[in-house]
Structure 1
Amino acid sequence: METVNSSAHPGPVLLPLSGPARVARLVGRRARFLMDLEDGAGERFTAHTNNTGTMLGLLRPGAQVLATRRDTPGRKLPWSVEAVRPGAFWVGVDTSVPTRALRAAWAAGLLPETAGYETFKAEPRFEGGRLDALLEGPAGPLWVETKNVTLVEDCQAQFPDAPSERARKHLTELSRLARKGERAALFFCVQRPDARCFGPAWAVDEAYGREFHQALEAGVEAWAYVLDVGEDGYRLGGRLAVGGAP
């Protein structure tokens, strides 16, 4: 079995991988949620992916894929895609990671933005539906929507990688909360080490870019952090500057 490159940001592991790891070669993607893979011994198998985005620029035939075994009762496929390596480094594509990383970083006291908040609730309900997290403390509620970022162009991390009505709806709801005087934020989890800043992907979803900047003007905060995939899990990197005005 092949090993995974070490992290670009040395330091303690924030999140371990979700199970025993296996490195394979990408044969192809099908039905949005499935990837056909082949390991070094020539054995082919299918892994589940929860990433419904295009994963633009990542899914090249022959690219390395890091899959982890998850023996959850009722699963049809034991392997899930954790990351893809189309070139020199791994890119994390598991969309469940950002909220878990947010929670782990809050619990470890690694996010200055969440200092003083005492409780963390995942997928809280509110009048507009659900968001990914609600932190509460003496300062009041902090609503957070997390996003997984896998696209980088000219050293700028960008989101989304495909037009997303759902992502635009989240901006609308966060803006409404901010205008009511409640704290609301976006946590962009950049799962690759080559980004130097963050901005909306105007070329992919111009409407998202416009609504993103309207959300910032409404008081919504945007936190973009690098999260590196290493052979033993995920490590939190630095915070990226946010910009990207047209």
Structure 2
Amino acid sequence: MQYRNVKKGIFRARPNRFIAHVEVDGAVEVVHVKNTGRCRELLVPGATVYLEESDNPARKTRYDLIAVEKGQLLVNMDAQAPNKVFQEWAEGGGFLPGLTLLRPETTWGSSRFDFYWEAGERRGFVEVKGVTLEEDGHARFPDAPTERGVKHLEELIRCQDEGYEAAVCFVIQMAGMQDFAPNDKTHPAFGAALRRAAASGVTVLAQECEVAPDRLRLAGPVSVRL
């Protein structure tokens, strides 16, 4: 996926989950943060960030915060990006050969999954999770407790009982990770649910990205350590 009109700025503060104060061209702007997660290890005062300028003059905020430098690591933190790059990758044949249908945002049971797919007589659901947390070269999810994430995994297990295939894909919004593992320290219940899902046959994928200030794409698999 490609961004347009990207500018560099310096992060100053985040008054709430939705906005940040960023210095751009010598002036402090109120910008929209495209990730409502905590991201405390990313958004630290003085960090270099990247903003996409909106072409909508009616918007209250002129910029969206889409990426941040964490030392030498560039992290995309656009929460909408993982689904977009997964869809590009899947439609290009990366997820499953012979894919004939890929439908976003499909409800099954009491959950809404990110994608429903068909390939010949095969059919299934995929849930996509964006990963922005890195610890010493290892990717981790989640960065905060996610009861919704646990529910999705439990529903994926039930999908299989009804004859569907099921997968969860962790899109790591950075490059150069050694592996991926659930963040048991922050939310042990999610890690336990992920292990139950894997043991029941749910496919667990982790794909890191090629990241630039103005673009993001899936680059290749990362080993999953459960």
TM-score normalised by L of structure 1: 0.87
**What residue in structure 2 maps to residue 27 of structure 1?**
12
Match of 1:94, SS state, is coil
Gapped regions of structure 2 (runs ≥ 5): none
CA deviation vs aligned residue, 1:170-215 (integer Å, no higher than 9, x gap): 1111111123331111111101113111110011101111111001
1:197–1:208: structure 2 CA closer, same or farther, 3 Å change rule?
Answer: same
Which of residues 65, 68, 81 in structure 2 aligns to 1:97? 81
1:45–1:73: structure 2 CA closer, same or farther, 3 Å change rule?
Answer: closer
Pairwise CA distance, 1:219 = 1.2
Contact 2:6 2:214 in 1 (8 A): no
Q: Which amino acid aligns with 1:189?
A: V
**What residue in structure 1 maps to residue 104 of structure 2?**
122
**What residue in structure 1 maps to residue 192 of structure 2?**
210
**What residue in structure 2 maps to residue 238 of structure 1?**
220
Contact 1:56 1:151 in 2 (8 A): no
Cα separation, 1, equivalents of 2:173 and 2:213: 14
Which of residues 153, 160, 164 in structure 1 aligns to 2:135? 153
Contact 2:50 2:213 in 1 (8 A): no
1:201–1:180: structure 2 CA closer, same or farther, 3 Å change rule?
Answer: same
Q: Which amino acid aligns with 1:78?
A: R
CA deviation vs aligned residue, 1:112-157 (integer Å, no higher than 9, x gap): x321111211111222231111111213222111111011223221
TM-score normalised by L of structure 2: 0.94
Gapped regions of structure 1 (runs ≥ 5): 1-14
Kindly, what percent of the aligned residue pairs are identical? 32
Cα separation, 1, equivalents of 2:107 and 2:14: 33
Pairwise CA distance, 1:231 = 4.0
Aligned residues: 226
**What residue in structure 2 maps to residue 88 of structure 1?**
72
- Give the number of the structure whose residues are more often strand, by fraction: 2
**What residue in structure 2 maps to residue 12 of structure 1?**
none
| Cα root mean square deviation, aligned | 1.6
